Copies of this chain bind each other. A is one copy, B any other.
Amino acid sequence: MITTEIGYTTIDKITVRGKDLSLELLGKLDFVDMMMLTILNRLPEEREKRMVNLILVTACDHGLTPSAMSARLTYLGAPEAMQAAVAAGLLGAGSVFLGTTQNSAELLIDAARELADDASDEAVLDCARTAIRTSREKKQPIYGVGHPIHVHGDPRVPTLAEVSRQNGYFGKHWRLMYAIERVFRHEMGKNLPINAVGAIGAIIGDMKLEPLLARGFMLVGRAAGLLAHLYEERQHPIGQQLWDLVLTQDERNEIPARKGKGS
């Protein structure tokens, strides 16, 4: 039978996860409760909910990222279809940006599978060494370390770690992540500090959630950030200027002077 356990609909009622949407959910749950109920078929604990909020806030946005640029450039061509601009902004959430939280969670969960929750620091370091070696052998990157801008350390990581500790989710995956950073620095001479992706991978591992949700939460959070960018783009458009700026990098291109635009 083709069916979903998420919900069903009759002429008079909508049921989501066994509850009457209109009478039991709308106005009674907030969005994060509803999202987690829909995904996991149970309400989140308070501390889980704080962590999911933490991840969504991290994902939301901070300035002109490639996803915000794609969304604005798409909106420039199709302002009547804002959903297409949001979708374009999400499509880059792959193995290099945003979506890489899933790869990071997979790497940590795989590597820490045999690690005891109360493993010694030395055991965790050993596990980190193995994880780095295994990734190299498979010619796969180590996800979750280094950042093109925050080269001295990602400023979000200490807060993400602290909130994880406060809520009881600083476990073996977080410890492994820190051990990977340490092995890179002290044994391999490489400055590759943990980034937000690695922190979220560790959180997903320590919350015992599926890696797919790591990528998924980034998409939900980023959708909100893209909405903010498109809201601003509508009032103060910069899409055309982005295009002009890029064209003028190649001196063979020639564009007419634009009145009232800063390019």
Contacts and interface: CB of A to CB of B under 8 A. Distances in A.
A247 B63 CA distance: 8
Interface in A223-252: 223-225, 227-232, 234, 236, 238-243, 245-247, 249-250, 252
A120 interface: no
Interface stretch (A93-101, A107-115, A122-130, A173-181): A93-101
Interface of A: 1-16, 21-23, 25-27, 29-32, 34-35, 38-39, 50, 52-54, 56-58, 60-70, 73-88, 90-99, 102, 138, 148-152, 155-156, 158-160, 162-163, 166, 210, 212-213, 215-217, 219-221, 223-225, 227-232, 234, 236, 238-243, 245-247, 249-250, 252-256, 258, 262-263
Contacts of A158: 22
Given A76-B97, A223-B219, A149 B256 contact: yes
A219 B158 CA distance: 31
B30 A57 contact: yes
A97 to B, nearest CB: 4
B91 A88 contact: yes
A9 B254 contact: yes
> Quick one: copies of this chain in the complex?
4
A252 to B, nearest CB: 4
Nearest to A102: B82
Given A88-B88, A155-B22, A241-B2, A31 B78 contact: no
Contacts of A27: 50, 54, 57, 159, 162-163, 166
Contacts of A95: 78-80
Nearest to A238: B2
Contacts of A163: 26-27
A221 to B, nearest CB: 7
Contacts of A3: 64, 238, 249-250, 252
17 contacts: A3-B249, A6-B232, A9-B254, A12-B150, A22-B158, A27-B50, A27-B54, A63-B253, A66-B76, A69-B73, A77-B97, A78-B81, A80-B80, A82-B102, A148-B255, A219-B223, A220-B220
